[in-house]
Structures are given as structure tokens and as C-alpha cells.
Amino acid sequence: MDNITSLFKKNGLSITDGRKKILSYFLNSEGALTHADVEKNAGEHFDRVTVYRTLQTFVDKGIIHQIPTTDNSILYALCKDDCGAGHHHDDHVHFICEECEKTICLDGVMVPQVKLPRGFKPRHSEMVVKGICDDCK
Amino acid sequence: MDNITSLFKKNGLSITDGRKKILSYFLNSEGALTHADVEKNAGEHFDRVTVYRTLQTFVDKGIIHQIPTTDNSILYALCKDDCGAGHHHDDHVHFICEECEKTICLDGVMVPQVKLPRGFKPRHSEMVVKGICDDCK
DNA sequence: CGAATACTTGCAGCATTGTTGCAAAAGTAC
DNA sequence: GTACTTTTGCAACAATGCTGCAAGTATTCG
Ligand SMILES: [Mn+2]
Ligand SMILES: [Mn+2]
Ligand SMILES: [Zn+2]
Ligand SMILES: [Zn+2]
């Protein structure tokens, strides 16, 4: 029983061909992926609806996490921390390279705390840094 | 000549009814606004395309800035810094209240610098904090 | 001011993206 | 293998975003 299979088992998900291919695609990709990436490159043709539902399921189970963007798209990347259904702990910084357009999880860089004005209670913080990545510099 | 008019003049924009109403709407709103907000509430009916073009123009001229989200929408908020055409300086933290759903520019809270891995060159950073705002606590 | 020019708007049409219900197919449990 | 549960694909629809073009406004300049 490989990694992928046991991960699905652990989360009470049926082991289907689509889920295996989509998760493999994430495992074999460097950066974050969009819905369109998955639809085009996950290895075979999956219905658009299936891709939506699969990504949503993976997010719900703590298998992938979302990265906010400013261009009406959502990026998805593998959770490498101890995320699970209902509790994500992806509090690392994301880096978007303006040259190669890749989005990279900087798993070693934690999102810093900031001092908020009186009365504001933080629960979760996101940080996205744009610039030039190591490969493109 | 009021504020709005002179701001448009300064940026070489024609003074039109639509632009005045849309900018007024931003000036009279507390939090950040979506395209849909503007289309519904800017005071009269503007064509969807007009709203897209107006928002884009305002972003280009440094009158409003965009705030990244994780739900396929873009939020827009007034620039309060010395932004202009081609140079935005909105490096403040944004706060999204999970109770009232408002998004607030924390103009006094700068996005902190983070130490990136060797080779990564940062150019611009965004930070979004979710939690409970002062009004809802 | 009024005419010439430049810019902005709304509309039509289209493309892309996201959602729901339902029946067929695939997976799981016994 | 059969009964049961879950997942998938399809159809239909809704929402969002973009472009070209003609008509409408705003600005410029005499
Ligand atoms: Mn990440
Ligand atoms: Mn802001
Ligand atoms: Zn790069
Ligand atoms: Zn609130």
C-alpha cells in the first residue's frame, strides 16, 4: 500500500483513479497549481466538475492548502505540515516569482506575528511575497 | 473644485459622472469593496464593463489598490498613501473579519520583512490577517 | 461660445469559470 | 458476489470577465 493510498484511507476517502492521478500530479510538481493546471495536466481528461470537487475535498481533508492571489484565481499546494480535516497549520510564507511565475511554499519561513490595533483578534495570517526566485536570479 | 475632481485632473482623467459616483462610493464605505459591490451600490446602474474599466483605471492611477483573497474575488480599497500611476506604496496589513466579513486596511500596520532563503529577492509583500474585528469582538 | 478632437460608455456577443441535480459508474463492506 | 455507499460525468445554468464598435460626453482650442 503506497503513500497515496494510505493517505486517502486515513482520511476516509475512497481510492479512485482520479484522486490518485491528481494527487500524484501535485507530488510531482514543484510549485503551486491552479484548477486549470490540474484540469489540463493531471494525466488524463477529468471533468471540470470533478476537478473542482476533488480540490475541495483535498482542502477539506488537509491534504492541500489554498494560496490567495490578486487575480481571481486560487493556487493550491500540498500541505507539508501536520494538517488534517478541520485544522490546517500552513503558516508559512508563499513566494511568487515574477520571472518564471512559479509559486513556491517557503516551508521554512513562518508568517511573522504583527501587533494589531486594540480590539482586533487574529486567528490566521497569510503572507505572500513577490519577487525573483533563486532559479531566475 | 472638490477633492474628487482635482484627483481626476491630477491623473489626467476626464471627469465623468460614473467615475465620480464610484469614487464617492469608496470614500463613503468603511471596508474594501468587490466589483459586485460597486455594480450594485454605486448609486445608479452602471454597465458591468464600465465598472471593470473604471476599477482598472483607478488601480492604474494609484487611486485604489487590490487585496488578494482566497475565494476567486478581488477586493479593492482606497489608497491612503502616496500612490500614483505606476507606483503603489500600500504596504499595510489587511484584516478580514470572520464575523462581519468586512475587510479593513490597517493603514498603521506595516507588512513586516521576513528573512527569505538564499537567492530569493523580494520586491513586494502582502499580508492578510483573518480574525475578529474591533466592532464584532 | 461652437466645432473639432479625444475619451468614455453601453451594448452585443463571446469565453471562461463556478455550481447544482441526477443517473450511471466505481469503490467498499459484508 | 451482492448490497450499499461514494464518486463521477453530463447537462443545464449562473456568474464573471473580456473585446469591438458605435453612440454619447468631456475636453480643447479657435
Ligand atoms: Mn504553502
Ligand atoms: Mn489597503
Ligand atoms: Zn522564478
Ligand atoms: Zn467584524
pLDDT digits (tens, 9 = 90+) for A111-129: 999 999 999 999 999 999 9
Name which of A114, A125, A133 is nearest B120 (Cβ-Cβ).
A133
pLDDT digits (tens, 9 = 90+) for A6-35: 999 999 999 999 999 999 999 999 889 999
CA of A104 to the centre of ligand 3 (A): 9
Q: Do A114 and B112 touch (CB under 8 A)?
A: yes
The stretch B47-65 carries a mean pLDDT of 96
Name which of A66, A71, A130 is nearest B123 (Cβ-Cβ).
A130
pLDDT digits (tens, 9 = 90+) for B12-32: 999 999 999 999 999 999 889
Ligand nearest to the CA of B132: 4
- Asked if strand D contacts A61 at the CB level, meaning under 7 A, the answer is no
- pLDDT level of residue B1 (50, 70, 90 thresholds): low
The stretch A57-78 carries a mean pLDDT of 94
DSSP letters spanning chain B: --HHHHHHHHTT----HHHHHHHHHHHT-SS-EEHHHHHHHSSS---HHHHHHHHHHHHHTTSEEEE-BSSS--EEEE--SS-BTTB----EEEEEETTT--EEEEEEEEPPP-PPPTT-EEEEEEEEEEEE-TTT-
Q: Is the pLDDT of residue A82 over 80?
A: no
Most B CBs within 10 A among A121, A128, A137, hence the mutation to make, goes to A121
Q: How far is B94 from chain A (nearest CA, A)?
A: 10
- pLDDT level of residue B106 (50, 70, 90 thresholds): very high
For chain B positions 91-120, those within 8 Å of chain A (CB to CB) are 93, 95, 98, 106, 108-109, 111-112, 114-120
CA of B67, C1' of C23: distance in angstroms? 42
Q: Is the pLDDT of residue A3 over 80?
A: yes
Between residue 62 and residue 121 of chain B, the positions with Cβ below 7 Å from nucleic chain D are 72-74
- pLDDT level of residue A86 (50, 70, 90 thresholds): confident
Cell representation of residue A24: 500524484
- pLDDT level of residue A48 (50, 70, 90 thresholds): very high
What is the fold, at CATH topology level, of the domain defined by A2-131? Arc Repressor Mutant, subunit A (1.10.10)
Ligand nearest to the CA of B135: 4
Please state the φ and ψ torsions of residue B19, each to the nearest 5 degrees.
-60, -40
What is the structure's pLDDT at A49?
97
What is the structure's pLDDT at A81?
67
Domain regions of chain A by residue span: 2-131
Q: Is the pLDDT of residue B6 over 90?
A: yes
Q: Is the pLDDT of residue A59 over 90?
A: yes
Which among B29, B23, B20 is positioned nearest to B104, based on CA atoms? B29
